[in-house]
């Protein structure tokens, strides 16, 4: 149980285009999903917290108009990188918190990640 999927796993796009990444909780409901960015050999940096049915909360320094997050259902959140540039190339990872877990443990389940390369 507690599986999170991401699609696509790898995407290459041209500079100036937009890319959408999907994050799905396959066997549980996720009221909260998180989006992280990871540069090579570095840690995960939280970009935003996505709550189902409401606007995402972005971390300081993250451009909300560039990284559009939608969490329209309890099992799906999407991250759209708009007008992508080479500096947006990175590994993007989502995680989901099981709504049924309440506050205990705060465990998040991570997706396998999406490698974005902008040419």
Partner 1 sequence: AQSVTQLGSHVSVSEGALVLLRCNYSSSVPPYLFWYVQYPNQGLQLLLKYTSAATLVKGINGFEAEFKKSETSFHLTKPSAHMSDAAEYFCAVSGNTGGFKTIFGAGTRLFVKA
Q: How far is the CB of 112 from partner 1 (least distance, A)?
A: 4
- Show the 3-state SS of 21-32: EEEEECCCCEEE
What is d(CA 53, CA 2) in angstroms, rounded to the nearest whole number?
21
Site mask for partner 1 (CB under 8 A), range 77-96, x = bound = --------------x-x-x-
49 or 82: CB nearest partner 1: 49
- Three-state DSSP class for 72? strand
DSSP letter (8 states) at residue 48: E
111 near partner 1, judged by CB under 8 A: yes
**Of residues 48-77, those binding partner 1 (CB under 8 A):** 49, 51, 57
* 34 belongs to the binding site for partner 1 (CB under 8 A): yes
Taking the C-alpha atoms of residue 32 and residue 108, their distance in angstroms, rounded to an integer, is 9
Only segment of 11-19, 43-51, 71-79, 82-90 that touches partner 1 (CB under 8 A)? 43-51
Q: By rule CB under 8 A, what count of residues binds partner 1? A: 27
- Enter the tokens of residue 107: 């465990």
Residue 2 to residues 86, 102, 111: CA-CA distances in angstroms? 33, 15, 10
Binding site for partner 1 (CB under 8 A): 4, 6, 32, 34, 41-44, 46, 49, 51, 57, 91, 93, 95, 97, 103-108, 110-113, 115
């Amino acid at each position: 149980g507690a599986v999170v999927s991401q699609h696509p796993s790898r995407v290459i796009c041209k500079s100036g285009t937009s890319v959408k990444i999907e994050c799905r909780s396959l066997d549980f409901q996720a009221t909260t999903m998180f989006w992280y960015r990871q540069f090579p050999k570095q840690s995960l940096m939280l970009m935003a917290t996505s709550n189902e049915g409401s606007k995402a909360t972005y971390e300081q320094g993250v451009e909300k108009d560039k990284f559009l997050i939608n969490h329209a259902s309890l099992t799906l959140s999407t991250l759209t990188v708009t007008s992508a540039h080479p500096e947006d190339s990175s590994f993007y990872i989502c995680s989901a918190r099981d709504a049924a877990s309440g506050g205990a443990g705060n465990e998040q389940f991570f997706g396998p990640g999406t490698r974005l390369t902008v040419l």
